[in-house]
Amino acid sequence: MWTLLDSVRRARRGAVAVEFALTFLPILYLFAGVTDLGIAYYREIGLSNAVAAAAAYAQATDYSTVTVAGSSETPTASTVTAANVETVLQDAAAQSMPGVTVTPSAACYSFPVNTTTFTSNSTDAVPCNGSSCVTSATTIKYVEIGLSTTYYPLFPSLSRVGTEGSQPLSKIAWVPLGC
Amino acid sequence: MLKAGRTVGRLLAERRATAALELALVSVPLLGVSLGAIDLGLILWTQSALQGVAADAARCGAVKGTACSNSNTISSFVRTEAANWVLGSLLSSTSSPLTVNVSNSTTSNATCPAISVTSATFETVQIETSFFANNLLPPPFGIGSYTIDVCASFAIPPSS
């Protein structure tokens, strides 16, 4: 037994193969990680761009109707619809990352003027178009613009990106609308 | 014959300069993979840069700054900004490297899907270019000719 161990320790042949096997594994992990993280971040940038385009659309469509909270102007009805925002999200995503399946979502909520954190509680939900929060000058209507996709890593077991071979990615923006 | 056999036998028994021989064998695929990675990186860089330029130009056209009052000025905006980001010598034609299509409203062309909502008009900018068609690196190493086609849209705000 010991003589066998000694002879293995003294052996000098095959050292290159052993070194290759030892370094190959970490290099493979690094390669897989860089590739999968890179693609995942690239997708996330694509989501960001589409959400930004939809936010710009909501503002452009609503531009003439936005009223500064607390001002004496009469709030006017918003013309933005959730369905249109979702269409813009879908089409803008198709422009910047063709072939990638995305799920758009848009919904409107009404919050008090000095709200700083937004949550999509169903109790605050209001229709996007129309004058649904006009009853009070102390509330602002926001449209929540969300876009999500699922990234399937190329090397899930090596890169450890995602769980069970998939990584959900999503972006959300809150844009104020006229009431 | 006998002499040649002896030479082969001596060469087989030779143990010097194995590292140089291994390097010679390995360097061919290694060089191919490296140059391919550089090519791929340059293509992705160019595509991503042009995507950004298209988005900027669409926005510029939508808000109608003095630099982007019509489709001609938007095209030159694209060319000026792209020249800051894209390595022009890598494109197929360095004299007129980019094809720029500017459209608004709902007109759609084959490669650039329009944004189909009726409640707003969108400024759409499409940029097309051909990459590496002048074969800086030959196809076994480089990827050969590759067409980059990007587009972006921006909602035009009402002129208040």
Q: How confident is the model at residue A48 (pLDDT cuts 50, 70, 90)?
A: very high
Structure confidence at residue A146 (pLDDT): 95
Structure confidence at residue B53 (pLDDT): 93
Instruction: Give the domain range for residue B141.
Output: 19-155
Q: Does A92 contact chain B (CB < 8 Å)?
A: yes
Q: Which residue of A has its CA nearest to B22?
A: A16
Instruction: Give the domain range for residue A14.
Output: 10-177
Structural domain total, chain A? 1
**ipTM score of complex:** 0.71
Q: How confident is the model at residue B66 (pLDDT cuts 50, 70, 90)?
A: confident
Q: Indicate the Cα dihedral angle A77, B159, B56, A95, nearest 10°.
A: 50
Looking at residues A49-78, what average pLDDT do you find? 73
Structural domain total, chain B? 1
Evaluate whether residue A39 is within a structural domain: yes
Evaluate whether residue A56 is within a structural domain: yes
Q: How confident is the model at residue A151 (pLDDT cuts 50, 70, 90)?
A: very high
Q: Which residues of B touch A61 (CB under 8 A)?
A: 119-120, 155
One-character DSSP codes across chain B = -HHHHHHHHHHHH--TTHHHHHHHHHHHHHHHHHHHHHHHHHHHHHHHHHHHHHHHHHHHHHHT-GGGSSHHHHHHHHHHHHHHHS-GGGBS-SSS--EEEEEETT--BTTB-----SSS-EEEEEEEEEESTT-SS-TTTS---EEEEEEEEEEPPP--
For CA atoms A161, A38, B26, B43, the dihedral sign is positive
Evaluate whether residue B30 is within a structural domain: yes
Evaluate whether residue B3 is within a structural domain: no
Evaluate whether residue A91 is within a structural domain: yes
Nearest-CB residue to B154 (from A53, A84, A96): A53
Evaluate whether residue B67 is within a structural domain: yes
Higher pLDDT, A178 or A30: A30
Evaluate whether residue B13 is within a structural domain: no
Q: How confident is the model at residue B35 (pLDDT cuts 50, 70, 90)?
A: confident
Residue A2 one-letter amino acid: W
Write the pLDDT tens digit of every residue in B92-117.
Answer: 666 677 888 888 765 555 567 778 78
Nearest-CB residue to A94 (from B113, B154, B157): B113
Looking at residues B26-30, what average pLDDT do you find? 88
Which two three-digit tokens encode residue A14? Answer: 């095959």
Check whether A93 has a pLDDT greater than 80.
yes
Which two three-digit tokens encode residue A92? Answer: 């803008």
Q: Which residues of A touch B152 (CB under 8 A)?
A: 49, 53, 92, 95-96
Chain B nearest C-alpha distance from A2 (Å):
32
Evaluate whether residue A138 is within a structural domain: yes
Evaluate whether residue A69 is within a structural domain: yes
Q: How confident is the model at residue A85 (pLDDT cuts 50, 70, 90)?
A: very high
Evaluate whether residue B65 is within a structural domain: yes
Evaluate whether residue A52 is within a structural domain: yes
Evaluate whether residue B6 is within a structural domain: no
Evaluate whether residue A36 is within a structural domain: yes
